[in-house]
Amino acid sequence: MKNGKLQVAVVGCGGIANQKHFPALKSQEDKCDIAAFCDIKPERAQKACSEYGAENAKVYTDYRELLKDPEIDVVHVCTPNVSHCPITIAAFEAGKHVLCEKPMAATTEDAQKMMDAWKKSGKKFTIGYQNRFRPDAQMLKRTCEEGKLGEIYFAKAHAVRRRAVPTWGVFPDKSQQGGGPLIDIGTHALDITLWCMDNYKPVSVMGSVFEKLGHLPEAAEGNMFGPWDPETYEVEDSAFGYIKMENGATIFLEAAWALNVKDSREAATTLCGTKAGAEMVGGMSQQSYDLVINETTGGVLTEEHISDSGSIAFFEGASGGTDASKECRQWLDAILNDTEPLVRPEQAFTVTQILDAIYRSAREGREIRLS
């Protein structure tokens, strides 16, 4: 703490940092200063520092040097997926609190290493699943907690785009990201689904992963972000998972950047319970989210619509509708007040465990049993 405020460092000054983390942290100036910026491209870190940095903020190209600063309290890890593990572990070993962008890691093995380092550190840890803070997600969570859906025994996690392959950064680079739409946007849909169900005990996973459209030049035409390069596209274009939970509940997960469907749904879930059902309808092809609760009232099938405007994520060209300041405020408050952050590490670990199992099931052509 310095001048009564948390000193925050951001590692990775690319798209998600600029569109989500920097503005959100800046909105919480009564609680924190952005005191350090780190990026392998020094000009990016310097630009971010000049726009968002506190007085005497520092710029680094090596996160290990940044972590030597004893004044830094909190580290936000905003780098490609495969680097989440080493940076997060190093931050915990240096005695810092960590917010890591989603997903926790590219593999279960790396996620476990991060969990072990967190438990040793005694510090706070959370993962950047900002879609939990959308008004419709909050409303659905309350509805589930109040028991209005009854026992939720079937769900669908939706993360499907017709043609919206990200063409910037390292998204199509498997060595940096670990995968494509499943690990990028499927992770949000699965997080919302598990969180609303309050069910984190998967026992088996079956998965299918497709690389059908990514290498077709004609498929790249009409992409929302401009044509992608089929020659450098290294990840799947769609993936699907069938997840069985310990209590018998079943989840179907669909994730695609490019799929020949008419409508898109992203960061959304469908929940089916014994008393009622709920559907989030929204994503790339809709301008707003519509939360629909369906049930039987007096012998009549009824629907209640609860709508909220806004988009679902932070990406180039979008006007972000998610209230990132809410995510940031509750995270900083969790540190200052020694409370639990909304997104708990063990929950994010389960998301990574399932995603990893879907990839593994597709590679090995069999069901993956989880302990």
d(CA 324, CA 316): 16
Residues 168 and 27 placed together within one structural domain of the fold: no
- Which pLDDT value is given to residue 156? 98
Indicate the pLDDT class of residue 320, thresholds 50, 70 and 90: very low
Residue at a domain's end among 75, 109, 131: 131
Mean pLDDT for 217-238 is 95
Residues 123 and 145 placed together within one structural domain of the fold: no
Q: How many residues does the chain have?
A: 371
Residue at a domain's end among 103, 131, 159: 131
**Considering the domain boundaries, does residue 308 fall inside one?**
yes
- Which pLDDT value is given to residue 340? 97
Q: Is the preceding peptide bond at 103 cis, omega within 30 degrees of 0?
A: yes
H or E segment and range at residue 302: strand 300-309
CATH of the domain at 305: 3.30.360.10
- Which pLDDT value is given to residue 80? 97
**Considering the domain boundaries, does residue 204 fall inside one?**
yes
Residues 23 and 64 placed together within one structural domain of the fold: yes
Residues 110 and 136 placed together within one structural domain of the fold: no
Residues 214 and 184 placed together within one structural domain of the fold: yes
How far CA 155 is from CA of 162, 190, 193, 251, in Å, comes to 21, 10, 7, 5
Residues 175 and 272 placed together within one structural domain of the fold: yes
Which residues, including other chains, have CB under 8 Å from residue 1's CB and lie 6 or more apart?
Answer: 7, 73
Residues 197 and 82 placed together within one structural domain of the fold: no
Residues 231 and 186 placed together within one structural domain of the fold: yes
d(CA 238, CA 207): 11
| Tens-place pLDDT, residues 268-285 | 999 999 999 999 987 665
**Considering the domain boundaries, does residue 356 fall inside one?**
yes
**Considering the domain boundaries, does residue 122 fall inside one?**
yes
Residues 140 and 213 placed together within one structural domain of the fold: yes
CATH of the domain at 90: 3.40.50.720
**Considering the domain boundaries, does residue 339 fall inside one?**
no
d(CA 129, CA 148): 25
Q: How many domains does the chain have?
A: 2
Q: Tell me the residue type at 92.
A: F
Cβ atoms of residues 249 and 201 within 8 Å: no
> Does residue 310 carry a pLDDT above 80?
no
Residues 165 and 310 placed together within one structural domain of the fold: yes
Indicate the pLDDT class of residue 321, thresholds 50, 70 and 90: very low
Residues 322 and 204 placed together within one structural domain of the fold: yes
Mean pLDDT for 28-45 is 97
| Tens-place pLDDT, residues 350-359 | 999 999 999 9
Indicate the pLDDT class of residue 335, thresholds 50, 70 and 90: very high
- Which pLDDT value is given to residue 323? 74
**Considering the domain boundaries, does residue 1 fall inside one?**
no
End-to-end Cα, the chain, rounded Å: 41
Is the model's pTM score more than 0.85?
yes
Note down the domain range covering 61: 6-131
- Which pLDDT value is given to residue 371? 77
Burial of 125 (0-12, 13-18, 19+ CB in 10 A): buried
- Which pLDDT value is given to residue 286? 62
Residue at a domain's end among 71, 100, 131: 131
- Which pLDDT value is given to residue 285? 57
Residues 108 and 147 placed together within one structural domain of the fold: no
Mean pLDDT for 218-229 is 93
Which residues, including other chains, have CB under 8 Å from residue 299's CB and lie 6 or more apart?
Answer: none
- Which pLDDT value is given to residue 307? 66
Taking all residues of the chain, what is their mean pLDDT, rounded to a whole number?
A: 93
- Which pLDDT value is given to residue 309? 46
**Considering the domain boundaries, does residue 332 fall inside one?**
no
**Considering the domain boundaries, does residue 257 fall inside one?**
yes
